[in-house]
Amino acid sequence: MKNKPDNFHFQAKTALNNPSLQQALSKATTHILNKRARAIQELTDLETLRDRARRIKEQTIAQLNHYLLQLESEVRKAGGKVYWAREARDAQRYIAKLVKQKKAQLVVKGKSMVSEEIGLNEYLEKLGLEVVETDLGEYIVQLAGERPSHIIAPAIHKSREEVALLFQKKLGTNPEAEISKLTQVARERLREKFFQADIGITGANFAIAETGTIVLVENEGNIRFTTSLPPVHIVLMGIEKVIPTLADLVVFLKLLPRSATGQKLPSYVSLITGPRRDGEKDGPEELHLIILDNGRSRILSEPALRESLYCLRCGACLNICPVYQKVGGHAYGSVYAGPIGSVITPPLVGLYRARALPYASTLCGACRDICPVKINIPHMLLQLRQGLSYRWNRNLINPGYWLEKLLTITWSMGMKDEGRYRFGSKVARLLQRPFLKKQKISHLPYPFSRWTKSRDFTPLAAKPFRIWWEDNQRSSKDHERAD
Ligand code: SF4
């Protein structure tokens, strides 16, 4: 069964009860965070860079229409084709048409979260195509029949032993094989596919409006192969990926690899402007750029959530998030996990369906502090919670609504005058007695047990503060007199 955003609590519980997942997540996130911390220390102008990056994103998103049209025109000038896809199915259909035209049988893919978002692999496989993920992490999750659990490290949830067993089952390798050996086997398999592929599909880290250039950063060289060996290259990008100029790219290239993998620069940075030109040896004969909306305009029209479109998909907020560190990406039931996923998913799939995600946060603010473009994720999560509570308050057939109302009315009546307040706190102290054990309340009857199932309930102090204060004053006066 595929994980879903409406099943977050169950999925999170399952993840918490999986010791191997806990170990893999803790090891990987600690490792990436340490690497990032070292790489960031070298930047003396970090804050200036973050502010510049944010400003660029702010200005671009404010004039998105202009930059997207400029990008379209430059890509066409460079010989590429551009297709605007309003929804996932528009992009799927365009790719299916191309596949048919080219009589394609094998598609290789470089890591693309947008293709995950539109369920492209399943769609193409239904059409009878062989689809091969070429990023090692993606290749692993594809072999396992799973989804990526992290934007940057898709197989972060798997231990070395699990990968070795998977490779043994699917590729016939030795289960004791070292990581280097497993990588070599994967590389050999993938290399064959690159040479046979009819179409290469990638995402885009950035698309530069002034030159029509697609920018891709990677470490394994698979994107280079995917974009240059097959005769057709399809780029699938969300509307938010456009940036105005090459000079802006410099700012982002200083921040993105450091935040994502703790590197000064990734091993490969590919800048692709149009398909292969006359006289060039490498590159595809055709380049198609699909610019996808798929709900992003809705985010754009929502001032409270707009800044989520500044996201570079570096994954740093996932690594630092105490919730993600414990439950991992699959628990979110969405392509986009972690703090930024909790913001993006509700407008993409519907607030009610993803209603648990805005609460999958401690609001500690670590995601905002680590974000290279200073996206205020906690603020957006609060906005989403506010939207949900508004909806909840209008849901008259919900018993929780009436219980909450009853408690609020009782509370406000009790707080209206001193006598009622004193009487109320006396009653509450009496009522809490049967549940009090070692100054803690760990078990309350239903419906309050929903709270105490996972945390203690703080009991009222044995002595009210007012009495404590009066006693204290009295004893200090007695002391003074005695002196
Ligand atoms: S929200 Fe910020 S930290 Fe999180 S993935 Fe996006 S850019 Fe990175």
**Statement: residue 1 has pLDDT above 80:** no
Q: For the residues 416-426, what does the mean pLDDT come to?
A: 89
Ligand 1 centroid to 250 CA: how many Å? 18
Ligand 1 centroid to 372 CA: how many Å? 7
Q: What is residue 458's predicted lDDT score, i.e. its pLDDT?
A: 85
State the closest ligand 1 atom to the C-alpha of 339, by its place in the atom list counted from 1: 4
b (16+ CB within 10 A) / e for 88-113: bebbbebbbebbeeeebeebbbbbbb
**Statement: residue 391 has pLDDT above 70:** no
Query: Is 5-298 a domain of CATH 3.20.20.150?
Result: no
Residues with a CB atom less than 6 Å from ligand 1:
259, 311-317, 340, 370-373, 375
DSSP structural state of residue 461: P
Task: Out of 117-131, 222-236, 316-330, 435-449, pick the least confident.
Answer: 435-449
Ligand 1 centroid to 265 CA: how many Å? 18
Which among 241, 375, 377, 380 is the best mutation to test ligand 1's pocket, defined by most ligand atoms within 8 Å of the CB?
A: 375
**Statement: residue 436 has pLDDT above 70:** yes
Residue with the bigger pLDDT between 140 and 397: it is 140
pTM score, whole prediction: 0.86
End-to-end CA distance of the chain: 76
Q: Which residue has the tokens 């240059």?
A: 228
Task: Out of 74-88, 136-150, 157-171, 389-403, pick the least confident.
Answer: 389-403
Cβ neighbourhood burial of 417 (10 Å; 0-12, 13-18, 19+): exposed
| Mean pLDDT of all residues belonging to the chain | 93
**Statement: residue 462 has pLDDT above 90:** no
Written as one string, the DSSP assignment of 276-330 is PPTT-SSS-SEEEEEEE-TTHHHHHT-TTTGGGGG-----HHHHH-HHHHHHTTG
The SS3 assignment for 133 reads: strand
State the closest ligand 1 atom to the C-alpha of 367, by its place in the atom list counted from 1: 3
Residues of the chain with CATH 3.40.50.10420: 5-298
State the closest ligand 1 atom to the C-alpha of 316, by its place in the atom list counted from 1: 3
